[in-house]
Structure 1
Amino acid sequence: MREWWRDAVIYQVYPRSFQDDNGDGVGDLKGITRRLPHIAQLGADCIWLSPIFTSPQKDMGYDVSDYTGIDPLFGTLDDFDALIARAHELGLKVITDQVLSHTSDQHPWFKESRVSRDNPKSDWYVWADPLPDGSPPTNWHSHFGGPAWEFDPGRGQYYLHNFLAAQPDLNFHNPDVVDAIIDTCKFWLDRGLDGFRLDTVNYYFHDQDLRSNPPAQTRPQVMATDLYGMQQNIYNKTRPENLGFLERLRKLTDQYGEIMMVGEVGEMGRRSIEIMGEYTAGSSRLHMAYSFAMLGPDFSVDHFRSCIEGFQAGAPDGHPKWSFSNHDVPRHVSRWSEYAVSDEAMARFACAMLMSFEGTVGIYQGEELGQTETELVYEELTDPPALRFWPAVKGRDGCRTPMVWEHDAPNAGFSDGTPWLPVKAPQAARSVDLQEADSDSILHFYREAIAFRKSQSALREGATTFVTLPEPLLAFHRQSDAQTITCVFNLSKDTHEIKLSGDATLIGPHLANLDGSKLTLPGNGFAYLTHDGALTLSV
């Protein structure tokens, strides 16, 4: 029997910004539960909750101080249980972020670890002596700027942090740490959770010999926080020991039936596709993985094709998850605007293209409204990199502003209080209620496209074979035992024509005209073609 997650549509909820039900300006679990019908009606199969665990919120919950507690900001364990129950009633699976590579510096484990070099948890984090001149043990960089090492006067040693200094890295070389982490995962599975989204899944282990990284082979265009990209990050992440931990975690999840784990591969470019393949190969590691390969500015036939074919070649038995937006990157409607006829055209085009990809697909909240990036001023920011490096870095707040539900309500229906990030007019104009009332809206298009994907066996489970056409025309066949669908996309603002050799019929949502053997695609046009025999395309 085919597993539920293989062709699922996963909807990411950013809890802070989805729905506030207690008026404090921050979204909460009760608010999410109230709005679950919206997600179910969209046609999604699963929701992914960004962190809801106890945290000082230095990095918006990605600094966990209690792996088995719900942060009071979001509610209680009872609220969590109620959310799970309601989601299951609606036919939705639920997975949560598990931030396992590091904790908060307020976690009891770290508080004990930093006291001395010989306490029971002294080796639970990555500690190292200074070099003879007092400098950090290696040249590794933090993603949020500066060295990845923070000196602790109490121990007279440095500790490792790949992100904020308030997010010390756990020492996964210590088996006691691994056992403790496995126990926290078991806690949530026992409460009925359907799986995990594993944050920074390739960061668990570090090089025990503490070797410094060599310089990058190609010097990147360095931004204020991108010193990280000036190194080949081969000793501080993606270590071979990671695979053993994933196999241990998979053994746990396999005890619970239809559990799914999706890993976030923290890497860019072709290497990220290779890691996705390695981490999902076979049936003893991750069920699937995604990377930032499609979450950046690249928008070309060669890019999308190389991502998909690269995964096919690297992991013929692995499974990918593809998405265009999430809580860490600018929204794709804004990110790809230079290629768009309009924001609305890009929203439809991206949806149609994503729904045609083989594997699992992900939607970030608001994406189904065609939501755009919010423009913020410095005084409105909360994101640590932006606060530190503004204006060179705008940060991630622009994609995290609240969900908009009712156009004329205070804060577009998100909260009766002052929201933690502002709701601005351009975003409120895309509210759910306005789009519900317009049968030609982006919201209705998403529902149509998702339903179409689910109704076609070729799009659910068909293999992908690319057709070579010149830029900006992306085309491929999806073939199952029951049918073949040819998917064609125009990645430009200009009109393009394609010649077909064979009879074909336009099906599903499309922006194209088929006149005999001529397929015309306007700017950001797209088409799904069904045919009985072979179909070739040319220009």
Structure 2
Amino acid sequence: MSEQMWWRGAVIYQIYPRSFNDANQDGIGDLPGIIAKLDYIASLGVDAIWISPFFKSPMKDFGYDISDYRDIDPLFGTLADFDELVVKAHALGIKIMIDQVLSHTSDQHQWFLDSREDKTNDKADWYVWADAKEDGTAPNNWLSIFGGTGWTWEPRRQQYYLHNFLSSQPDLNFHNPDVRQAVLNNVEFWLKRGVDGFRLDAINFCFHDAQLRDNPAKPKELRQSIGFDEKNPYAYQYHYFNNTQDENLGFIESIRTLLNKYPGTVALGEISSEDSLKTMAEYTQGDARLHMGYSFDLLTDNFTSGYIKQVVESLESRVSDGWPCWSISNHDVQRVVSRWGGYEAPSFAKMLFAMIASLRGSVCSYQGEELGLTEADIAYADIQDPYGITFWPQFKGRDGCRTPHPWQDSQVNAGFSEAKPWLPMSPDHIVKSVNKQELSADSILNSYRHFNAWRKSQPAILYGDIKMLASEEPILAFVRTFQQEQLVICFNLSEHSQKTNLDLSCIETFEESNLIALTEHNLLSGSLKQVQGNNLSIDLPAFGCFYAKI
């Protein structure tokens, strides 16, 4: 594919810099630490790295509250370190994507410090300000994702300001064209420094309803929404007015116009709305909006073949020419091997990555997924996440998926840092450290590498269409098609062996003599038992995978 299309079918490795590798031994990972591990990253066979925020920040939300979009927080290094990272990554064939948190800033950003002073300064209309109701209460019923009202009173202006997240993360007013241009200028600063793309945090939150209409209540039986349940009052509303406004489409088109000036760069949007798949389809439609989008639909606790099939088919029915990016783990949710069953068998972790990396689209793979890391158990005294502190003990926050990466089992803190890490190193992770898995040819790590290498040779997986096949739980099966090549792919999502029959009558060109079971990629554990007409009988062991070329 052309340079402009490198992202189609790409595996994007997400790095949470605080927890990846600490070069200056202060207990917090940094950019020089990433540079030191670039050879390791290259060995994984990934196409790009996405680095979570490293910009100047008071760290109330660990970098997602930015006080200076154009500089590096001293915790992580310097601009010179970032430039070195870009050069060395590119020399290894690795693209660089960085987070851009556009919908809100830190309350320590100079824009907000100016805006809050009065109603007449140059930045007065750069944030979402509103008068109190007659009784002094907030302007409307909008809530913060992190709990409680989405409004905070500012005595200097005698007004409330909006924050969809922490009160220290005030929302920018994207209805103001000066704000939109200033945000785009900040994005371009990093394009000029050679980045290859952006992961756009909460991109559907940029615009709010200008009339500040109340969100309607959500019936109790529907409050089990993606990412939120009755532990969080955020689930009590339909969030029709505090995000995902029509005006946002024009803004993301402006982002695409800017990126088009820098050929080969790409925008990946994080989308969480009342109908995230619908929004993802809208935001990636045509060639004038985002290149890719991902939602939280596979970041839930729902692990059944029926649910995965439903998500894929629902997106495919809407997305037309858009391109999805799939994720089953990231820095905001429980690690997938724990969330989807907690099975100890290495074959479980191997199967999960093969499954997500075989769907149509690109893949975001979170650091530690290649090791099969489980969710770490964090004591209350060690909790850092404000989300977890607020909702403890019903919800323990996001720290359990953010603990340090284990490099060497025999070193202090598993080689992450000689100093006390900002979060404790999990004992369960030390036994899965990189150096231990390097020694085993069939480890999760080496299977991850082998699968990525094999996947690059399969255009049907990288670029092809997808058609889900009829199957019973716990079997997930589909066909990937690109030009004249077709792959039949099947997974056993259970810890018990399964026999399944697949009807391939939907494949017009199917001929038994052209069916070749693929075993060379060192992941296959299923076997073709019998072919009768259009029916394939397959034996799959626990967490087995099967690939066949037609």
TM-score > 0.5 by shorter chain:
yes
Which residue identity lines up with residue 409 of structure 1 in the other structure? Q
Residue 420 of structure 2 is aligned to residue 418 of structure 1:
yes
Does structure 2 retain, via aligned residues, the 8 Å contact 1:145–1:225?
A: no
Does structure 2 retain, via aligned residues, the 8 Å contact 1:15–1:29?
A: yes
Q: Hey, what's the Cα distance between the residues in 1 that align with 2:385 and 2:115?
A: 28
Residue 223 of structure 2 is aligned to residue 220 of structure 1:
yes
Deviation readout 1:213-261 (Å, 9 max, x if unpaired): 0012443157565211111100000000000000111111000100000
Q: Hey, what's the Cα distance between the residues in 2 that align with 1:59 and 1:498?
A: 47
Q: Hey, what's the Cα distance between the residues in 2 that align with 1:362 and 1:182?
A: 24
Does structure 1 retain, via aligned residues, the 8 Å contact 2:207–2:243?
A: yes
Q: Hey, what's the Cα distance between the residues in 2 that align with 1:132 and 1:141?
A: 20
Query: SS of 1:470's equivalent?
Result: coil
Partner of 1:177: 179
Which residue identity lines up with residue 528 of structure 2 in the other structure? L
Q: Hey, what's the Cα distance between the residues in 2 that align with 1:292 and 1:213?
A: 21
Partner of residue 388 from structure 1, selected from 371, 387, 390: 390
Does structure 1 retain, via aligned residues, the 8 Å contact 2:191–2:262?
A: yes
Q: Hey, what's the Cα distance between the residues in 2 that align with 1:267 and 1:47?
A: 26
Residue 41 of structure 2 is aligned to residue 30 of structure 1:
no
Residue 543 of structure 2 is aligned to residue 524 of structure 1:
yes
**Structure 1 residues 144-223: aligned runs within 5 Å:** 144-217=146-219, 218-221=221-224, 223=229
Residue 304 of structure 2 is aligned to residue 300 of structure 1:
yes
**Structure 1 residues 330-409: aligned runs within 5 Å:** 330-337=334-341, 340=343, 342-409=344-411
Which residue identity lines up with residue 514 of structure 1 in the other structure? L
Partner of 2:506: none
Which residue identity lines up with residue 506 of structure 1 in the other structure? A
Deviation readout 1:192-225 (Å, 9 max, x if unpaired): 0111100001000000000000012443157565
Partner of 1:260: 266
Q: Hey, what's the Cα distance between the residues in 2 that align with 1:311 and 1:515?
A: 33
Partner of 2:110: 108
Which residue identity lines up with residue 238 of structure 1 in the other structure? T
Partner of 1:515: 529
Deviation readout 1:56-85 (Å, 9 max, x if unpaired): 000000000001010000000000000000
Residue 242 of structure 2 is aligned to residue 240 of structure 1:
no
**Structure 1 residues 427-466: aligned runs within 5 Å:** 427-466=429-468
Partner of 1:536: none
Partner of 2:276: 272
Q: Hey, what's the Cα distance between the residues in 2 that align with 1:304 and 1:39?
A: 29
Unaligned runs of 5+ residues in structure 2 are: 504-511, 532-536
Residue 516 of structure 2 is aligned to residue 505 of structure 1:
yes
Q: Hey, what's the Cα distance between the residues in 1 that align with 2:245 and 2:156?
A: 30
Q: Hey, what's the Cα distance between the residues in 1 that align with 2:395 and 2:475?
A: 33
Q: Hey, what's the Cα distance between the residues in 2 that align with 1:496 and 1:437?
A: 31
Q: Hey, what's the Cα distance between the residues in 1 that align with 2:345 and 2:236?
A: 34
Residue 256 of structure 2 is aligned to residue 250 of structure 1:
yes
Deviation readout 1:92-114 (Å, 9 max, x if unpaired): 00010000000000000000000
Does structure 2 retain, via aligned residues, the 8 Å contact 1:225–1:385?
A: no
Partner of 1:94: 96
Q: Hey, what's the Cα distance between the residues in 2 that align with 1:29 and 1:343?
A: 34
Query: SS of 1:6's equivalent?
Result: coil
Does structure 2 retain, via aligned residues, the 8 Å contact 1:265–1:292?
A: yes
With over 3 angstroms needed to count, the CA separation of the structure-2 counterparts of 1:156 and 1:10, relative to structure 1, is: same
Unaligned runs of 5+ residues in structure 1 are: 532-539
Range that drifts further, 94-103 or 493-502? 493-502
Partner of 2:14: 12
With over 3 angstroms needed to count, the CA separation of the structure-2 counterparts of 1:223 and 1:474, relative to structure 1, is: closer
Q: Hey, what's the Cα distance between the residues in 2 that align with 1:442 and 1:496?
A: 22
Which residue identity lines up with residue 309 of structure 1 in the other structure? E
Q: Hey, what's the Cα distance between the residues in 2 that align with 1:95 and 1:159?
A: 31
Which residue identity lines up with residue 516 of structure 2 in the other structure? T
Query: SS of 1:386's equivalent?
Result: helix
Q: Hey, what's the Cα distance between the residues in 2 that align with 1:500 and 1:172?
A: 51
TM-score in terms of structure 1 length: 0.96
Deviation readout 1:383-411 (Å, 9 max, x if unpaired): 00111221111100000000111110111
Range that drifts further, 494-503 or 316-325? 494-503
Partner of residue 313 from structure 1, selected from 311, 317, 340: 317
**Offset of 1:500 from its aligned partner?**
5.8
**Offset of 1:343 from its aligned partner?**
4.3
Q: Hey, what's the Cα distance between the residues in 1 that align with 2:393 and 2:234?
A: 19
Q: Hey, what's the Cα distance between the residues in 1 that align with 2:277 and 2:136?
A: 38
Query: SS of 2:75's equivalent?
Result: coil
Identity %: 49
Q: Hey, what's the Cα distance between the residues in 1 that align with 2:484 and 2:38?
A: 34
TM-score in terms of structure 2 length: 0.94
| Paired positions, count | 527
Q: Hey, what's the Cα distance between the residues in 1 that align with 2:260 and 2:364?
A: 23
Q: Hey, what's the Cα distance between the residues in 1 that align with 2:115 and 2:472?
A: 58
With over 3 angstroms needed to count, the CA separation of the structure-2 counterparts of 1:430 and 1:125, relative to structure 1, is: same
With over 3 angstroms needed to count, the CA separation of the structure-2 counterparts of 1:41 and 1:128, relative to structure 1, is: same
Which residue identity lines up with residue 525 of structure 2 in the other structure? L
Deviation readout 1:138-184 (Å, 9 max, x if unpaired): 10110000000001111111000001000000000011101110110
Q: Hey, what's the Cα distance between the residues in 1 that align with 2:246 and 2:83?
A: 37
Partner of residue 284 from structure 1, selected from 282, 288, 301: 288
**Structure 1 residues 119-130: aligned runs within 5 Å:** 119-130=121-132
Q: Hey, what's the Cα distance between the residues in 2 that align with 1:484 and 1:205?
A: 42
Residue 94 of structure 2 is aligned to residue 83 of structure 1:
no
With over 3 angstroms needed to count, the CA separation of the structure-2 counterparts of 1:11 and 1:319, relative to structure 1, is: same
Query: SS of 1:19's equivalent?
Result: coil
With over 3 angstroms needed to count, the CA separation of the structure-2 counterparts of 1:111 and 1:224, relative to structure 1, is: farther
Does structure 2 retain, via aligned residues, the 8 Å contact 1:404–1:430?
A: yes
RMSD: 1.3
Deviation readout 1:496-536 (Å, 9 max, x if unpaired): 212467353321321212234331112221111122xxxxx
Partner of 1:67: 69
Does structure 2 retain, via aligned residues, the 8 Å contact 1:52–1:71?
A: yes
Query: SS of 1:158's equivalent?
Result: strand
